Structure 1
Amino acid sequence: MKEFDLIGRYFADGGHQRKDVIIGIGDDCAVTSLAPNQQLAVTTDTLIAGVHFLEDTPARSVAYKAVAVNLSDLAAMGAEPAWISLSLSLPEFNDSWLEEFAAGLYELTQYYSVQLIGGDTVKGPLALTITAHGFIPPKNALTRSAARPGDWIYATGSLGDAGAGLDILQGKLNADYTQRDFLVNKHLFPSPRVAAGTAIRRIANACIDVSDGLIADLQHILRASHCGAVLHVDKLPLSDALISCVGHDQAIQYALTAGDDYELLFTVNEEHKGILETSLSSTNVKATCIGQITGQGGKLELKFNDAPFAAPEKGGYQHEF
């Protein structure tokens, strides 16, 4: 199939249609209208087969996760998503794969009222790049560099599930049917915390999404904010499925180091701590206090019931070049 026939068949007319898209797919550029009194947030992520997802990952999950990780980046900044563009590299034409892929793509964009406005398709190794755009009111953007000593550290949802799900898919971990279904789905179909991100943008100081692992991503905040932290590992939010599958001690290790959870990790000062639960009440997302920012530049201390806890040798995922 020719490139433009492929675009027209699977991507040109599907998905959510927004009124602020003046010209969408089909021209050399998309043209959009910027909302008044809003700033534009832009993020880009590339997913490559064999690096970011397993070669046999279902096409629906590949597309769904590609959208989710970009929306998660917007959520970590407190932005409301609006548009995405897609660059897709395919080794060959496969109708059923593309049908599944398009379904996964539109599943999430429909839910969050996001429109696909353009991109590119090429023949090559399986890979895709998504650029996502969103809106933030002026002076409301959450960053990694605004944590302050005394801030409380929170994490949404539960941690470590996606990492365990990946190990199950790779045959490194055994699980019964219920545990497997829950943990594998957390890996294949992560939930970007968009509503939570917009709910906390006037409350939180610093924020990041947990993509590389809790320790690694918390250290990004500490380096950017020139602070330290105490992390109470006995307070980490762990799912029943993860604990049942691997036991409490190993569940802590997954929560500390496994990536792909795409939960929000953020800091809140004492003054705003009391209104956090109220702000999140309409999002159906729970946030758990797991530590506190200190003034010790860059030093991260782990404690279990106030006793020192040995940091894992592996602190999280990093690309190596």
Structure 2
Amino acid sequence: MSGSEFDRIARYFAPLANEAALRLTDDAAVWSPPPGRQLVLTVDQMIEGIHFLPDDPPDCVARKLLRRNLSDLAAMGAAPIGYLLTTALRAATPEAWLADFADGLAQDQRTYNITLFGGDSTSTTGPIMTSVTMIGHVAPGTALLRTGARPGDAIFVTGTIGDAVLGLEAARGNIADPGSFFSTRRLLPEPRVGLPLAGLVHAAIDVSDGLIQDLAHLCTNAGLGAVIEAALVPQSSAARSAGDAWLETRLTGGDDYELILAAPATAEPALRAACGTVPLTRIGTMTAAHSNIIINDASGTPLHFARQGWQHF
């Protein structure tokens, strides 16, 4: 890349910042949170070869980086405000890669009404690494926690499950992807920010590491179990066409960034109204059986999978 680190900051990132970030001319931002609100903070990173492929479009890498973090805020019922960004790029990274990356950030800043507050940049001799710390806010005491699920709660999911991991399988040449539907779902998830879930939902989590594994986090934190009907887990028409051979992959693959919600069954009509045009499907029930998750097939027979979801180590 040409130019100094500071030239690149001024060219690509300063236009993404506002007055609170002092246009990135200082070491830190000075910002006043909305009056009477609690801050919600989350951080997530993406590493080349692990979270994205080397030939993925850089604008999509940037947008997925933001959306992964936005999804964490959505799972807390928080409204996003802005973010801090860190990048570690190789010296040989083309200038066009950085320009497209910054353009992707700009696109989603407009989409989600967020701003860049600052960050850090460095060089690396290894894979590209990017990280975002996202800042949001909620009314005091209304953040959705993983500990809140109760026995008998209905389990809901938004959207469809499994398309993103099928996008990875398509990139590996293991499955057809007519119209690049799976690829789009992998590259550009849709975080469910802005849903008015407070007062309706006891607990929530987003599907990042796989439906079963992330549901297990809800169960463990609440000291509960769950029964899931595999046939009820929503799938896209493209995933349905791929067949049942991909069932385990879909339920354990992750990268969907849909929400798992635990709520009273009686709240379902109000919850559907709160979700508006976002599809919502009831897939099971929370039980008193500590950390015991049962996934039944259409005949009621429990399924056994080789793994629950993505593991970093």
TM-score range, shorter chain: over 0.9
Correspondence for 1:229 among 226, 230, 234: 226
Matches within 5 A, 1:136-155: 136-155=138-157
Q: Give unmatched runs, 5+ long, in structure 2.
A: none
Moved more, 132-141 or 22-31: 22-31
Q: CA RMSD, aligned part only?
A: 1.4
Moved more, 143-152 or 89-98: 89-98
Match for 1:211: what amino acid? S
1:297 aligns with 2:290: yes
Match of 1:209 in 2: 206
Matches within 5 A, 1:1-321: 1-14=3-16, 17=18, 21=20, 23-92=22-91, 93-124=93-124, 125=126, 126-175=128-177, 177-178=178-179, 181-196=180-195, 199-244=196-241, 246-247=242-243, 249-281=244-276, 284-305=277-298, 307-320=300-313
Q: Calculate percent identity across the aligned residue pairs.
A: 38
Match for 1:29: what amino acid? A
Moved more, 134-143 or 103-112: 103-112
Aligned 8 A contact 1:26 1:118 in 2: no
Q: Give unmatched runs, 5+ long, in structure 1.
A: none
Match for 1:115: what amino acid? T
Q: Say if 1:2 and 1:14 are closer, same or farther in 2 by CA, change over 3 A.
A: same
Moved more, 127-136 or 47-56: 47-56
Moved more, 52-61 or 67-76: 52-61
* Cα deviation 1:33-86 (Å, max 9, x = unaligned): 111110000001111111111122111111111101000011110000001011
* Cα deviation 1:253-276 (Å, max 9, x = unaligned): 233111100000111113322311
Aligned 8 A contact 1:154 1:288 in 2: yes
Aligned 8 A contact 1:232 1:306 in 2: no
For 2:269 and 2:187, the matched residues in 1 are separated by: 34
- Displacement of 1:251: 4.2
- Output the TM-score relative to the length of structure 2: 0.95
For 1:60 and 1:274, the matched residues in 2 are separated by: 38
- Displacement of 1:94: 1.9
* Cα deviation 1:260-304 (Å, max 9, x = unaligned): 0000011111332231111112xx201100000011111111112
Q: Give the match's secondary structure for 2:110.
A: helix
